[in-house]
A and B are shown apart, each in its own frame.
Chain A
Amino acid sequence: MKLGDEQLVSQAQKGDQAAFEELVQRHQQKAYRIAFDFARDREEAKDLSQEAFLRAYTHLSNFDGRSGFYTWFYRILVNICLDYKRRQKRAPAEEFNETIENQIEPSHPTGNLVTPDQQVIAGQLSRKVGEALESLPPKQRTAFILKNHQGLSIREIAEIMQTAEGTVKVHLHRAVRALREDLSEFA
């Protein structure tokens, strides 16, 4: 019988290492995808999601079950991703732009595009999307990524961001409005 997340957490809190590894197995792909949406780089996304698991493991005794493990863990992950973005912003501007371009182009799926023109447009779109997402304030970006990329419900996002559902709706609306303005040429 498959155990629920909370049962696995309870076992892990008692020192069952296999229980925690099972939690990692369950959530690693989703955690990786969220981290990738923030970092837009495979290696960074791997490091960020692994760091979130390690932090969750270290602070497992603080998990009191008031929210689900899923919510608690993704809150840790989102905070790590936002810290990463803050650190990245403090880096010199030139280096930053270079990093963004290197990150986006290799991993964007341009391989199945037929003509070179299409590939150029896809490359431009990818770069522009990256810039548009970067320019969003952290809370708007988080709400947008969790909704648009991960398909979480407004309620789940509110729990992860520890805010009211109405606030998440406002962040989401503002993010969509800003992205629509920035990316209108690709509509």
Chain B
Amino acid sequence: MAGNENRTCEKMEEDLVLYYYKELSGAQQTQVETHIKDCAPCRLYLQEMASILPSTVMNDDPPATFWTDYNREMRLKLSEVREKKAWWQSLLGLLQPWPRPAFAMAAVVVLALTVTLGKTFWRPQESPPDDQALIEVLPVAENLEFFKNMDVLDAMDFLENSDTPTTKGTT
């Protein structure tokens, strides 16, 4: 036995549980039996299981009337489910003979509507998107600025030219 005298051998614990429930094979069972002969804590563990575990079971034995009611209620509930099932089946049954033609017709109608309405509402994009327009306009605007500057320069030239005779005159 390994460990403390009052404690079960930890490695054996699972086997003890399975031994208690008779879930071990022949060889494993013999191994446990050999072990518990010399191991008092494991023997105690088994005894405790035998004392505690059966007490966790609550025996409930309902009277015959309970089972009569049980069966009556069960039949009622089953018939309700059957009725619901039958209702759905009859509804599906109505659709059953013509589902393919119906779906085909619906698909054709949707396609026709898409084409007709599409032509009415759809227009090709004539104006370029905003960003594109800005890119196109920017050089033009820059040119305008340039020409404006040129105008100023021209004006200065004109003034300079108009000033020239007087200057010349004064000198």
Contact = CB atoms under 8 A, between A and B. Distances in A.
Please report whether the interface of chain B is mostly helix, strand, loop or mixed according to DSSP: helix
Contacts of B65: none
A37 B82 CA distance: 30
Contacts of A169: 14, 17-18, 23
Interface string B66-97: 11001101110110011001000000000000
B53 A179 contact: yes
A40 B82 CA distance: 30
Interface string B45-67: 10111011101111110100011
B98 interface: no
B17 to A, nearest CB: 5
Given A28-B70, A28-B74, A42-B60, A179 B52 contact: yes
Nearest to B75: A21
A78 B102 CA distance: 43
A58 B77 contact: no
B33 interface: no
A126 B17 contact: no
Interface string B1-36: 000000000000110011011010000000000000
A50 interface: yes
Contact of A147 (B21, B60, B82): B21
Interface residues of A, number: 46
A104 B58 contact: yes
A52 B93 CA distance: 28
B8 to A, nearest CB: 10
Interface in A1-60: 17, 20-21, 24-25, 28-29, 32-33, 36-37, 40, 42, 45-46, 50, 53-54, 57-58
Most buried by A among B13, B21, B45, B58: B58
Q: Can you list the 4 inter-chain pairs with the closest CB atoms, starting with the nearest? A: A173-B14, A187-B48, A173-B17, A129-B56
Interface of B: 13-14, 17-18, 20-21, 23, 45, 47-49, 51-53, 55-60, 62, 66-67, 70-71, 73-75, 77-78, 81-82, 85
Given A173-B14, A183-B55, 15 more contacts: A17-B78, A21-B78, A36-B60, A42-B62, A50-B70, A50-B77, A104-B58, A108-B58, A126-B58, A132-B56, A149-B56, A169-B18, A179-B56, A180-B45, A186-B52
19 contacts: A17-B82, A20-B78, A28-B74, A33-B60, A42-B62, A42-B66, A46-B66, A46-B73, A50-B77, A53-B74, A53-B78, A54-B78, A57-B78, A125-B55, A129-B56, A179-B56, A186-B51, A186-B52, A187-B48
